[in-house]
Amino acid sequence: METPASSAHPRITIDPHICHGQPTVRGLRYPVQNVLEWLASGMSDAEILADYEDLEVEDLRACQAYAAEMLQVRSIFRLAS
């Protein structure tokens, strides 16, 4: 069953039956990690959207925001250790 990763990130969903439960974009088979890798490789928003027509620019920003939040949470846990 697809559920939003959090109320702050409704475009990021987690479903144990899609991509082995990795966070994905809107229940599609686009893991957040892949989108971040495309952006990190230097692909522009326009290139990504042209290659993956069911993605929207808001999805790209949602992946970045989700990753930033996950890093913040991990940093807090490291400081507490």
Give the Å distances, CA to CA, from 19 to 8, 40, 52: 21, 21, 17
> What is the predicted pLDDT for the residue at 8?
84
- Please choose, from the candidates 35, 32, 58, 62, the residue with its C-alpha nearest in 3D space to the C-alpha of residue 48: 35
Percentage of the chain modeled with pLDDT above 70: 85
Q: Which of 4-8, 15-19, 34-38, 66-70 has the weakest average pLDDT?
A: 4-8
The per-residue pLDDT for range 12-47, each reduced to its tens digit, is 999 999 999 999 999 999 999 999 999 999 999 999
Average pLDDT over residues 55-66: 97
Cα gap 18→64, rounded to integer Å: 20
- CATH class of the domain whose range is 3-80: mainly alpha
> What is the predicted pLDDT for the residue at 7?
79
